[in-house]
Chain A
Amino acid sequence: MRLRRLKAIAVKEVLQVWRDPRSLLIPSSCPSCR
């Protein structure tokens, strides 16, 4: 994957976590985490 795309995805991920840090938490309802 080209660097340009990786950068776009990284910026998006950082913005989403910055706006809502709770999105990093693994929900207790996640079946693979039980």
Chain B
Amino acid sequence: MSEAGPAGARPAGAAPEAPIVAEGLVKRFGGFTAVDHVSFRIAEGEIVGFIGPNGAGKSTTIRMLCGLLRPTEGRALVAGLDVARDPEGVRQKIGYMSQKFSLYGDLTVAENLRFFGGIYRVPKDQLAERIRYAVEMAGLAGREDALVATLAGGWKQRLALGCAILHRPPILFLDEPTSGVDPQSRRRFWDLIAALAAGGVSVLVSTHYMDEAEYCNRIALIDRGRLIVMARPSELKRHKLGGDLLDLECEPMGAAILALEQAPAIKDAAVFGNSIHLLVADGAAALSTVPKFLADRGVAVTRLQVMEPTLEDIFVQLVGGERGRQGAAA
């Protein structure tokens, strides 16, 4: 990706502009607000994960940044270009991959790559080398003449990425690229994304797989069109929970949940598989008080320990808190 660079010249000594800038982006469809005043910046070589449930506004935001949808309000700058004013210029600077992969099943691997090379106007003298790189990156060497319809999901996914980066864009937008792909292929795909980012490519990737958030430099949590928080995964885990998390195994679980709802020291209790995650202000104190509190109510504790919160814990907490605030304000 050595050819990829920021668009346009800037004065010597000036601070480099972030490759992706969203300022107060709003998108309304009639009376429905899909994206509600979303602002962020993404630096060169940074991977930002857009995390949120279906319908949260992830795809709409990405489509606005790609110039595929016009924002109702706000401004988006991509590679220094205003997306609303110069969508065609933006498209030459970005790679976009949707969850449907946008490949032609009745064309072969090589034909798909040649087609995208033509669409992106890759210089003819560089096309063969770029196609060779994409084929090797996707692990499709020897399958150049296979019809894409016959390929497995992981191969299609890597081929779609190869098509999206054929013109060596400095910015990549990936909209749920790992949906419906097996875990091994997902892992390999993320290794490719990390390699591209190491070469200076800025990546905005949406997903609803919480484990994939760990691959990102920063995470943007989005729910009902609003950006709830944007931070590094480690920062989110350290600061955003508002207390210590305990992992509790006990018998019977139902009675324990009912009892814990009445316990003054418990901020929140949620069932995760065979255990209950408790949010408490002071984990060390709760380790001694919770077993006695539950024993007095006929619940036997088999295991209780302080645990490192997962991003799913953080997400549930933050979305729950935000919805509570919105409900109270309504």
Chain B residues with CB below 8 A from A2, complex form: 121
Cβ contact within 8 Å between B104 and A16:
yes
- List 5 additional A-B contacts (Cβ < 8 Å) besides A11-B111, A15-B106: A4-B121, A8-B119, A12-B104, A12-B107, A16-B106
- A:1-34 near B, CB below 8 Å: 2, 4-5, 7-9, 11-12, 15-16, 19-20
List residues of chain A with CB under 8 Å of any chain B CB.
2, 4-5, 7-9, 11-12, 15-16, 19-20
Q: Of A5, A11, A16, which is within 8 A of B121 by CB? A: A5
Interface of A is mostly: helix
Cβ contact within 8 Å between A20 and B118:
no
- Size of the B side of the interface (Cβ < 8 Å), in residues, is 11
Q: Is B114 an interface residue (CB 8 A)?
A: yes
Docked pose: A34 CA to B107 CA in angstroms: 31
Mark B243-259 against chain A: 1 for CB-CB distance below 8 A, else 0. Answer: 00000000000000000
Q: Is B117 an interface residue (CB 8 A)?
A: yes
Q: Is B40 an interface residue (CB 8 A)?
A: no
Shortest distance from the beta carbon of B67 to any chain A beta carbon, whole Å: 16
Q: Rank and list the top 4 A-B pairs by shortest CB-CB distance, nearest first.
A: A8-B118, A12-B115, A19-B106, A8-B115
